Amino acid sequence: MPTVNVSDRPARVDICLCTFRRPSVARTIAAIGAQASVGADVRLIVADNDDTPSAREVVEAAAAEAKVDLLYLHAPARNISTARNACLEAASAPYLAFLDDDLTPTPEWLASLIDTAVETKADIILGPVHAQYPAGAPAWASVADLHSTAPTILSDRSIVTGYTCNALIRRDAIGDLRFDPRRGRTGGEDTVFFHSLWKRGARFVFAEKAVIDEPVDPARISMRWLLKRSFRNGQTHAQVLRSNGEGRPALLIKALGKVGYCLMVSAVTIPFPARWRRSLVRGALHVGSLSNIMGARDLELY
């Protein structure tokens, strides 16, 4: 990508960070303070989603240490959509960046997102989240790498949805759209939100160099956790497809076929620990799609 002139960058950027009882938020704020110069005024908006403002002291101390301009919000209800919407209401900059409170953005993260936005004129810029596995993690975990995040890029190179763990959004593209509070405990609220932006005409691009690192919690390095998360993602995936006008019978047939294929691949790749796990997790996504198509309630993850 060609070098972008500092004068072409937006004058201000708001970074939106939702938190709920995670001490790691201090590490995330420290990494935000260590960002390379972006040629813009940067403000950090932190929405504390706990019933009481439990993170306030930690957040304010970390922001002061990192010399980060801070707006702290108490957005109670233990509903992530409530916290994300509080950030949207408070944000006023031309661009909003989102990330999670257990992640560590690399020093060039924000500059890469902004430069990609200026260069491509896109409305949504998504960066990758690279999983960092702890010492002692099973070998299959890093090989399968089921904890990292990147957008699904279709055969025509388009991207039709996104995520809040690493995104830059043009404020004007959001308009009156908000995260669905009904999904604030189940998850999938960001998938639906970004797909709604796409349906409104927003254009997405991928910024490969806008990297965020994610230290993986050892408790999440298990097939039980991965299958549950994938199943829940499948429920949201089916809803997105249905919102596009795809009928239940056709979706049911497709999902059944994909479940069968994934199970077959898992069976024949048993000698390869990463491969059979990857296929099984993919199969759980399509099982989740089946459950949504057949009218089952969404699984609550939070």
Closest CA to 82 of 46, 47, 36: 47
The SS3 call for residue 16 is strand
Same domain? For 209 and 60 the reply is yes
Q: Are 112 and 29 in contact (CB under 8 A)?
A: no
pLDDT at residue number 1: 45
* pLDDT tens-place values along the chain, 302 residues long: 446 666 678 899 999 999 999 999 999 999 999 999 998 999 999 999 999 999 999 999 999 999 999 999 999 989 999 999 999 999 999 999 999 999 999 999 999 999 999 999 999 999 999 999 999 999 999 999 999 999 999 999 999 999 999 999 999 999 999 999 988 888 889 999 999 999 999 999 999 999 999 999 999 999 999 999 999 999 999 989 988 888 889 999 999 999 999 999 999 999 999 999 999 999 999 999 999 999 888 877 66
d(CA 59, CA 27): 10
Same domain? For 149 and 247 the reply is no
Same domain? For 138 and 153 the reply is yes
Same domain? For 56 and 189 the reply is yes
Distant-in-sequence, close-in-space partners of 136: CB < 8 Å, separation ≥ 6: 218
Same domain? For 41 and 169 the reply is yes
What is the count of structural domains for the chain?
Answer: 2
Q: Which long-range contacts (CB under 8 A, 24 or more apart) does 5-10 make?
A: 6/39, 7/39, 8/118, 9/38, 9/39, 9/40, 9/114, 9/115, 9/118, 10/40, 10/93, 10/94, 10/95, 10/114, 10/117, 10/118
Same domain? For 212 and 247 the reply is no
* Structural domain span for residue 281: 223-293
d(CA 222, CA 143): 14
Same domain? For 234 and 125 the reply is no
Same domain? For 74 and 134 the reply is yes
d(CA 103, CA 84): 16
d(CA 90, CA 70): 12
